[in-house]
C-alpha cells in the first residue's frame, strides 16, 4: 500500500526533529567528555579512546583543534543541506502529488531558480575550500621548531631517534597482554614511550624501514604515512602534560595491531632531566633506562 503524502511529509518532519535532537545531545555529551579525561598513576591525563566515546578525542594540539573545528563546520553545513533538500522533497510530495495536482505544469525553465541552485552550491564550496586550505598550510608550517624526532616504522615496532641528541635512538614495542601492569592499556601502552616537552613545536620526520606504516595520534592531529625511502613531516605542539596514545593505522602485515604509539609529554624541566639521563644511557650503548614517570615523580627535577 502506498503511504499517503501527508503522512509521509509529517514522518519526514518528525525524523528531522529526532535527528536534530540527537545531534544536540551528542554535542553536549562531547563537551562534557572533553572536560573529564581519566588520569593515570603518574597523575597524567590519558588521551586514549574512552568507553562509549563517539566523537573525536579531545584535541590537544593547534592542528587537532583546527581539524575538530573544520569537522564540525562541514558537518553543520552538510546538516543544513540535507535538511533543506529533505524539506523540499517532503513539500513536493505533499503539494504536487497526483491527487492534489492532477494537471502537471509544463514549465521547463526558470532562470531565477537556476541561478540560485548554481550559485548557492558554488558559494558553499568556496566556504569549504578557504578554511580547508588554511588547515593544509597550518599543517605544513614547520618553522621555528624546537626539536625534531625521526620516526621510523618497522614490522612491527616504532623507532624514535632524537635529532641533535647523540645516540638517543630507541625502539618502542607494544607490551604483550600478559605483561601489562596496572594502568597500562592493552595494545596502546609501549615499553619505551616517546618523551617530548609541552608547549614547544615538535617536528616528526616520518619514514619506514620496510613496508608502509602510518604514524597516527588522534588527539594531536598527527597522521602521516611512513614510506620506505621517503621522509614526510608533521608537527605538533602539545598543550599540556599527559600521555597521548595512537597507533599505526596502515595495514602493515601480520602484527599491524602491535604498533601502538605512546607519547609522554612532560614539562620542560622534567623533559630535560629525562633527556640528560637518556643521553647518558645512550653514551653507554643503552636504551633509556628511566621511564618518564620516574622523572616526573623525582622532585629534584622540578
The residues binding Cu ion (CB under 5 A) are 213, 248, 252, 256, 259
Q: How far is the CB of 170 from Cu ion (least distance, A)?
A: 19
CB 195 within 8 A of CB 274: yes
What is the rounded distance in angstroms from the CA atom of residue 146 to the CA atom of residue 10?
Answer: 59
Burial of 46 (0-12, 13-18, 19+ CB in 10 A): middle
Question: Nearer to Cu ion by C-beta: 208 or 219?
Answer: 208
Distances (CA, A) of 128 to 67, 122, 123, 264: 13, 10, 9, 35
Q: Would you call 292 helix, strand, or coil by DSSP?
A: helix
Of the candidates 229, 247, 240, the residue with the CA atom closest to the CA atom of residue 267: 240
Least distance between Cu ion and beta carbon 258 (Å): 9
Work out how close the CB of 247 gets to Cu ion at its nearest, in angstroms, rounded to a whole number.
Answer: 8
- Backbone phi, then psi, for 158, in 5-degree steps? -110, 155
Strand extents, DSSP E, the chain? 46-47, 147-154, 157-162, 169-172, 194-197, 201-208, 213-217, 222-226, 232-237, 242-248, 260-266
**Smaller CB separation from Cu ion, 168 or 248:** 248
Minimum CB separation of residue 256 from Cu ion in Å reads 4
Of 256 and 279, which CB lies nearer to Cu ion in the complex structure? 256
**Is the CB of 252 or the CB of 275 nearer to Cu ion?**
252
Residue 285's nearest CA partner among 171, 168, 165, 192 is 168
Q: How far is the CB of 155 from Cu ion (least distance, A)?
A: 8
CA atoms within 13 A of residue 175's CA, in its CB half-sphere: 16
Contact 153, 248 (CB under 8 A): yes
How near is the Cβ of 36 to Cu ion at its closest, in Å?
A: 31
Cβ-contact 221, 59 below 8 angstroms:
yes
Distance in Å, CB of 249 to Cu ion, minimum: 7
Residue with cell 580547508: 132
Give 58 or 153: the residue with its C-beta nearer to Cu ion.
Answer: 153
At closest approach, how far in Å is the CB of 226 from Cu ion? 8
Nearer to Cu ion, 90 or 226 (CB): 226
Strands 201-208 and 232-237: antiparallel
The four Cα atoms 40, 45, 48, 51 give a dihedral, to 10 degrees, of: 80
Query: Nearer Cβ to Cu ion, position 58 or 260?
Result: 260
Residue nearer to Cu ion on the CB measure, 37 or 206: 206
Amino acid at each position: 500500500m502506498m503511504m499517503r503524502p501527508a503522512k509521509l511529509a509529517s514522518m519526514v518532519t518528525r525524523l528531522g526533529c529526532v535527528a536534530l535532537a540527537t545531534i544536540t545531545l551528542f554535542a553536549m555529551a562531547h563537551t562534557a567528555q572533553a572536560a573529564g579525561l581519566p588520569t593515570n598513576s603518574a597523575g597524567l591525563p590519558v588521551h586514549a579512546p574512552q568507553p562509549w566515546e563517539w566523537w573525536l578525542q579531545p584535541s590537544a594540539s593547534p592542528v587537532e583543534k583546527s581539524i575538530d573545528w573544520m569537522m564540525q563546520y562541514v558537518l553543520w553545513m552538510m546538516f543544513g543541506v540535507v535538511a533543506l533538500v529533505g524539506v523540499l522533497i517532503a513539500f513536493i510530495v505533499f503539494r504536487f502529488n497526483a491527487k492534489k495536482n492532477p494537471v502537471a505544469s509544463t514549465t521547463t525553465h526558470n532562470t531565477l531558480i537556476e541561478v540560485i541552485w548554481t550559485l548557492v552550491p558554488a558559494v558553499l564550496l568556496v566556504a569549504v575550500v578557504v578554511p580547508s586550505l588554511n588547515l593544509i598550510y597550518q599543517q605544513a608550517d614547520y618553522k621555528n621548531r624546537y626539536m625534531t624526532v625521526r620516526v621510523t616504522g618497522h614490522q612491527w615496532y616504532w623507532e624514535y631517534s632524537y635529532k641533535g641528541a647523540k645516540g638517543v635512538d630507541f625502539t618502542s614495542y607494544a607490551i604483550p597482554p600478559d605483561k601489562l601492569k596496572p594502568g597500562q592499556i592493552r595494545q596502546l601502552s609501549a615499553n619505551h614511550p616517546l618523551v617530548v616537552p609541552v608547549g614547544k613545536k615538535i617536528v616528526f620526520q616520518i619514514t619506514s624501514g620496510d613496508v608502509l606504516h602510518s604514524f597516527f595520534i588522534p588527539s594531536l592531529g598527527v597522521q602521516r604515512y611512513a614510506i620506505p625511502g621517503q621522509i614526510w613531516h608533521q608537527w605538533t605542539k602539545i598543550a599540556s602534560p599527559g600521555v597521548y596514545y595512537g597507533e599505526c593505522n596502515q595495514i602493515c602485515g601480520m602484527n599491524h595491531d602491535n604498533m601502538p604509539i605512546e607519547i609522554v609529554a612532560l614539562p620542560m624541566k622534567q623533559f630535560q632531566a629525562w633527556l640528560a639521563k637518556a643521553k647518558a644511557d645512550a653514551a653507554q650503548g643503552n636504551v633509556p633506562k628511566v621511564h618518564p614517570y620516574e622523572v616526573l615523580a623525582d622532585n629534584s627535577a622540578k
